Amino acid sequence: MNEIKVKADYYGFKNQSTLFNTFRPDYPSKLIEYIIDYQDNRSKDQKILKPDGGVCFNSCALDLACGTGLFTRKLAPFFRQTFGTDLSEKQIRVAMENDEGSSKYAKFDACDFEGTFNHFSTLPKEVSMISVACAMHWLDFDRLAVKIIDHFRRGTPVVVAGYLPVQIMNQSILESDLFYDADLEIAGNVKEFYDKKFDYYNAVYNKVSLQTLRKYMNYDLDILMNSYQTLPFDKYFSHHEFKRFIILEEKTLLELVQFIRSTSFYQLFLNENRDLIPGGSVVDPLEEFADTVLKVEGFTDTSSDDVRADQMQSVKIDTMWTFFAHIVHN
């Protein structure tokens, strides 16, 4: 799995790309501002006026392993053209369907890395920024770094961004120093006072996402959990800076469950156990998590899927999302 040319589409399961596009977290505005401010302070590109009246760099951005284009569309307003490429045809199809707002300045193509580099090697001066968002743990960093250095102008910034697995607010977070070196954003109706039942929810959730389902994570989870800081950036790039961003946000139980359903590891679990779950010989850990929370919240009526979905939508849980960005160049 750990090579530049990913040989399998682990985001091609039924409805997975739609779930991915709908329930994956939105990249913080402060993270995007940090990247664009960095580009603005060092770029020699002329600014131009876009048809919608916005001002942008007169150059292109290339978003590698773009998925459904969540990060690509965030960059799109700031460049003359933004390109997103991904191996998954289903992911790219969903990306292309989101053709509104800033996405009209984004173009998407389903191709592997070899195809991407072969195409953009003819336009190296046009690309003034390269990004890889929440995908580096799937890839061989050394080979990718060499490809970038060989194909693009010296000094082209490479943004390696991502986010850690979501955490339900708990006592250990409140007692940690996580907030002291990160930009903090509070979104939605996060509770003013900490709810102790979240400790229990967090323990059950972590058991599901990081223990029961971990064997289906066909990538190096430790690389992601360390915010990619163990990658050898300094081996290939002379400049390297790093910044973290934290969002505290109220989510519904349904949103949390759908987020996990969008992951490759949960879909691989389903694919392996689909015939065993209905008979009860294998328990779906995600459904077990939802049932546990609903029981604590006092819901006992599970007469239909619609009733259960309404109950899950009514349960509000405070969550913490930790985003990060590395910016490197020579």
Based on DSSP, count helices (H) and strands (E) in the chain, helices before strands. 14, 10
Mean pLDDT estimate for the chain: 87
287: number of Cβ within 10 Å: 13
Claim to verify: residue 146 and residue 176 sit in the same structural domain: no
Taking CA atoms, 269 is separated from 10, 65, 146, 325, in Å, by: 12, 23, 34, 30
pLDDT of 240 reads 97
Same domain, 29 and 78: yes
Pair 269, 183 in one domain: yes
Residues 173 and 309 in one domain: yes
CA-wise closest residue to 110 among 133, 134, 94, 124: 94
Assess whether 141 and 263 both reside in one domain.
no
Length of the chain: 330
pLDDT of residue 5: 40
Residue 278 lies in a domain: yes
Residue 101 domain-assigned (yes or no): yes
Task: Say if residues 126 and 20 touch (Cβ distance below 8 Å).
Answer: no
Residue 80, pLDDT > 60, answer: yes
Domain assignment of residue 131, yes or no: yes
Which of 10-24, 140-154, 202-216 is modeled with the greatest confidence?
140-154
Look-up: residue for tokens 């800081």? 229
Alpha-carbon distances of 259 from 178, 207, 263, 286, 290, rounded to whole Å: 23, 16, 7, 11, 13
Write the DSSP assignment of 120-189 as a string of letters.
HTT-TTTEEEEEEES-GGGS-HHHHHHHHHHHS-TT--EEEEEEPPPEE--HHHHTSSGGGGEEEEEES-
Q: Which helix (H) or strand (E) holds 238?
A: none
Residue 194 has pLDDT above 70, yes or no: no
Does 133 share its domain with 201?
no
- Cα separation, 177 vs 192, in Å, equals 19
Residue 8 lies in a domain: no
Asked whether residue 293 falls in the same domain as residue 197, the answer is yes
Give the predicted TM-score (pTM) of the model: 0.90
Write out pLDDT tens, residues 83-118: 999 988 999 999 998 756 545 678 899 888 778 887
- Please count the structural domains in the chain: 2
Domain that holds residue 260: 167-208+251-318
One domain, residues 36 and 124: yes
Q: Indicate whether 191 belongs to any domain.
A: yes
233: enclosing H helix or E strand: helix 233-236
Other beta carbons less than 10 A from residue 41's beta carbon = 7
What is the SS3 assignment for 32? helix
What pLDDT is stored for residue 99 in this prediction? 59
